[in-house]
A and B are shown apart, each in its own frame.
Chain A
């Protein structure tokens, strides 16, 4: 009959997955708020400061503070998207028009399965990474699944059957295909460096990368050029300004989601921010030491459950700083022209990534040669 232990394990995994989705979706929602608040701050405005739950506004000090910070704004935005009338324009292909937002959201949420976000200390002093699935090829999984996200955008652009979304979809696919190469190439030297003989790191595991940065310099300091190329490619892959070609308002109205409204538009919006959250987490893991304290220093917190909690908090702090960095760049730099984006990707970033790779191949070979 039924294997109850198996069912229990599956149930537990599903629960963990739901918790993780909840955490990332909450972060995505609050990234939208952060976007509005930070942009307001940079432009000398106040930003969202009116939304408040009933009664909470009357709580002395805290209520006023939460209201001023706009802490309830994501809730109001979500409800607004949910209750808006769903309009489907008459000229679209209905099936693909409805499918596209889902196809855009699913990869953004799937990549988080292999993200390690902390470590758990057992009673006997062993530590285990906190993550949903410890894949040996974690980073490849993320690259593969996030490359599926472009289907959502292209399908949206094509099924809308109108000029602006179509251009947005085509631009997006070209941009993603171009920058994926540079992104993959910028990560290769990292794995060369981490998997040197004698370290025990075997494959492309994200946990091994974090462990290699324990009490040793962050990989950002070891390989600044790889980090720079990866960061630029990450901006391009998440369609953030200065690379937001698929949705640039000035020449494409709204880009691939021009014909979308209500909840379906909201899903695209959330998918974009979920991409940013996951991308920031990956950058933290690969280049900023993950949940370890500071370069060259051992973790100052004890190896107990308190230590695990502080580690997760430290990881979140780094990730949130990177999200802030994304927003900061968006409201600072102007948008590229489309040919400039392609030019940068193919003639600057890709050769640079190749040179970087060859340099580190030579360096690692030289460092690893056995003493004569």
Chain B
């Protein structure tokens, strides 16, 4: 076991543990903090794979997102430092978590071939072509990410951008209530 393996187990434990604690912690602010710990450890796992760009995007995107979530908690749930109200829909959230854990376990078993390694859908990467499909270079460098996004994956990129735009327009329309007396 070398240093990288040790670091992998450390950050893997941290990310899974952070995720678990996020779900079971009672205090919404603690939950948000555990979520950021979990996300940053996933970024650290990307660093161990020498994929610095993905690691940084992970922090950049999710740190901002969790910040907004944090403000949501403080402003909307009205949580003081003594703690907040416990969710009233315990039954529903229990059901939802059982369902998602069940799906996760079934998928994992399915993909790993249920104990039979030859049936497993997880295969080692044989050649770089098998991953990218064509002349795109398989690497973690930033230029290749950009090249791939703006050539082969142009349509998905545009569609994702359009979806985000639609969400943004929706939020603006919903939050801007029309005030007839002011419009007049």
Using CB atoms and an 8 Å cutoff, list the residues of chain A in contact with chain B: 3, 6, 91-93, 96, 135-137, 140-141, 143-145, 147-148, 150-151, 154, 158-161, 170, 173, 177, 180, 202-204
B71 to chain A: closest residue by CB? A173
Complex CA gap A91/B63 in Å reads: 28
B13 at the binding interface (Cβ < 8 Å): no
18 contacts between A and B (CB under 8 A): A6-B3, A135-B52, A136-B141, A137-B142, A140-B56, A140-B57, A141-B56, A144-B59, A150-B67, A151-B70, A154-B70, A160-B81, A161-B80, A161-B81, A173-B70, A202-B142, A203-B141, A203-B143
Per-residue contact bits, chain B 52-74, to A (CB 8 Å; 1 contact, 0 not): 11001101100110011011001
B36 at the binding interface (Cβ < 8 Å): yes
Per-residue contact bits, chain B 62-102, to A (CB 8 Å; 1 contact, 0 not): 01100110110011000011100000000000000000000
B44 at the binding interface (Cβ < 8 Å): no
When the two chains form the complex, which single residue of B52, B67, B71, B74 contacts A136, counting CB atoms closer than 8 Å? Answer: B52
Complex CA gap A96/B63 in Å reads: 18
Q: Are B82 and A93 closer than 8 Å at their CB atoms?
A: yes
Q: Are B81 and A92 closer than 8 Å at their CB atoms?
A: yes
Majority secondary structure, B binding face: helix
Using CB atoms and an 8 Å cutoff, list the residues of chain B in contact with chain A: 2-3, 29, 36, 52-53, 56-57, 59-60, 63-64, 67-68, 70-71, 74-75, 80-82, 141-143
Contacts A6-B3, A159-B81 given; indicate if A203 touches B142 (C-beta within 8 A).
Answer: yes
Complex CA gap A158/B67 in Å reads: 13
Complex CA gap A202/B147 in Å reads: 12
What's the minimum C-beta distance from B26 to chain A, rounded to whole angstroms?
14
Q: Are A140 and B29 closer than 8 Å at their CB atoms?
A: no
Instruction: Work out how many contacts link A and B, with CB atoms closer than 8 A.
Output: 70
- Additional 13 contacts, C-beta under 8 A, given A136-B53, A136-B141, A203-B141: A6-B3, A92-B81, A140-B53, A143-B60, A144-B60, A145-B59, A147-B63, A151-B36, A154-B67, A159-B81, A173-B67, A202-B141, A202-B143
B52 partner residues in chain A, CB cutoff 8 A:
135-137, 141
Complex CA gap A158/B81 in Å reads: 7
Give the interface centre of B53, B56, B141 by most chain A CB atoms within 10 Å. B56
B2 partner residues in chain A, CB cutoff 8 A:
3
What's the minimum C-beta distance from B25 to chain A, rounded to whole angstroms?
12
Q: Are A137 and B53 closer than 8 Å at their CB atoms?
A: yes
Q: Are A144 and B56 closer than 8 Å at their CB atoms?
A: yes
Q: Are B142 and A158 closer than 8 Å at their CB atoms?
A: no
Complex CA gap A170/B81 in Å reads: 15
Q: Are B64 and A147 closer than 8 Å at their CB atoms?
A: yes
Complex CA gap A40/B23 in Å reads: 53
A161 partner residues in chain B, CB cutoff 8 A:
80-82
B63 partner residues in chain A, CB cutoff 8 A:
144, 147-148, 151
Complex CA gap A141/B59 in Å reads: 9
A154 partner residues in chain B, CB cutoff 8 A:
67, 70-71
Complex CA gap A180/B71 in Å reads: 17
Complex CA gap A45/B75 in Å reads: 44
B74 partner residues in chain A, CB cutoff 8 A:
158, 170
When the two chains form the complex, which single residue of B36, B60, B68, B75 contacts A140, counting CB atoms closer than 8 Å? Answer: B60
A158 partner residues in chain B, CB cutoff 8 A:
29, 74, 81
What's the minimum C-beta distance from B39 to chain A, rounded to whole angstroms?
11
Complex CA gap A259/B64 in Å reads: 26
Complex CA gap A354/B70 in Å reads: 29
What's the minimum C-beta distance from B14 to chain A, rounded to whole angstroms?
16
A181 to chain B: closest residue by CB? B64
